[in-house]
């Protein structure tokens, strides 16, 4: 199956499209003010209140360590599409970054490593879509939502650690992660959209929740009927 990394498919549950309400918008109908350039091909936009977002210049290459401040401003966000289609091989985001805009690292085909901060609270739509060399991801504790197609087409992904704080996984979030063999879904996940793990034939999902077919009150009762379509199988909680 081919992976289209240029567009997030519409969610059957009405999830907001990636372009809506993107990180970095500060005032109605207006974008952020440029706040200057930094080292390593990084650019910054003023968000007001002593905060800024970060994005990349087209020249960006190699491993990137984003600093926690730019001048007197705190780096609190990665701009929507901020690193899209860049030649970064690794990225490390500092503590203090709470938001990563939709499509922030989409199409970064050389990206093999990504370190996410504990201050992050969600991973939006298509954040790492098409990052074909990404080898592993540890979603930090505090993240409650993984958006549609967030890791779609990450063909080299071998490990994905999901936090206890997670409550929802979006449509086709891990679609096409063909090397992924095991994922543990925490008990607090109350929503998984259709085809979240499609195209993962080797994947064995271990769900902390009991099987909803035997336990109607299971948190998994709210998951889409086709949430596990295309994966290798599901092992339910010990009480199943």
The pair of structure tokens assigned to 28 is: 């109605």
Q: Could you tell me if residue 1 is inside a domain?
A: no
**pLDDT digits 0-9 by tens, 101-151:** 999 999 999 999 999 999 999 999 999 999 999 999 999 999 999 999 999
Reported as type and span, the H/E element at residue 37 is: strand 33-37
Q: Could you tell me if residue 21 is inside a domain?
A: no
Q: Could you tell me if residue 76 is inside a domain?
A: yes
Q: Is 211 exposed, middle or buried (0-12, 13-18, 19+ CB in 10 A)?
A: middle
Torsion angle of alpha carbons 63, 68, 69, 75, nearest 10°?
A: 100
Number of domains making up the chain: 1
Residue 149's CATH number: 3.80.10.10
Distance CA 164, CA 68 (A): 26
**pLDDT digits 0-9 by tens, 35-59:** 544 456 899 999 999 999 999 999 8
Whole-Å CA distances, 126 to 133, 203, 211, 234: 15, 21, 29, 25
pLDDT value of residue 15: 42
């Amino acid at each position: 199956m081919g992976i289209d990394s240029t567009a997030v498919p519409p969610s059957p549950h009405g999830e907001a499209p990636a372009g809506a309400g993107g990180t970095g918008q500060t005032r109605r109908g207006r974008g952020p003010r440029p706040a200057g350039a930094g080292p390593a091909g990084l650019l910054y936009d003023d968000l007001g209140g002593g905060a800024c977002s970060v994005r990349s210049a087209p020249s960006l290459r190699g491993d990137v360590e984003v600093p926690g401040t730019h001048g007197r401003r705190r780096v609190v966000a990665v701009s929507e599409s901020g690193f899209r289609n860049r030649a970064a091989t690794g990225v490390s985001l500092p503590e203090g970054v709470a938001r990563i805009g939709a499509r922030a690292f989409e199409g970064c085909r050389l990206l093999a490593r990504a370190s996410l901060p504990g201050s992050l609270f969600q991973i939006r739509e298509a954040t790492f879509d098409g990052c074909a060399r990404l080898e592993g991801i540890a979603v930090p504790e505090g993240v409650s939502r993984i958006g549609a197609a967030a890791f779609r087409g990450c063909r080299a992904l071998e490990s994905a650690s999901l936090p206890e704080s997670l409550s929802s996984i979006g449509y086709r979030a891990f679609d096409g992660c063909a090397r992924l063999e095991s994922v543990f879904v925490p008990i607090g996940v109350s929503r998984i959209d259709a085809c979240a793990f499609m195209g993962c034939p080797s994947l064995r999902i271990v769900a902390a929740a009991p099987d909803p077919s035997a336990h109607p009150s299971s948190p998994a009762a709210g998951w889409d009927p086709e949430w596990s379509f295309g994966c290798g199988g599901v092992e339910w909680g010990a009480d199943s």
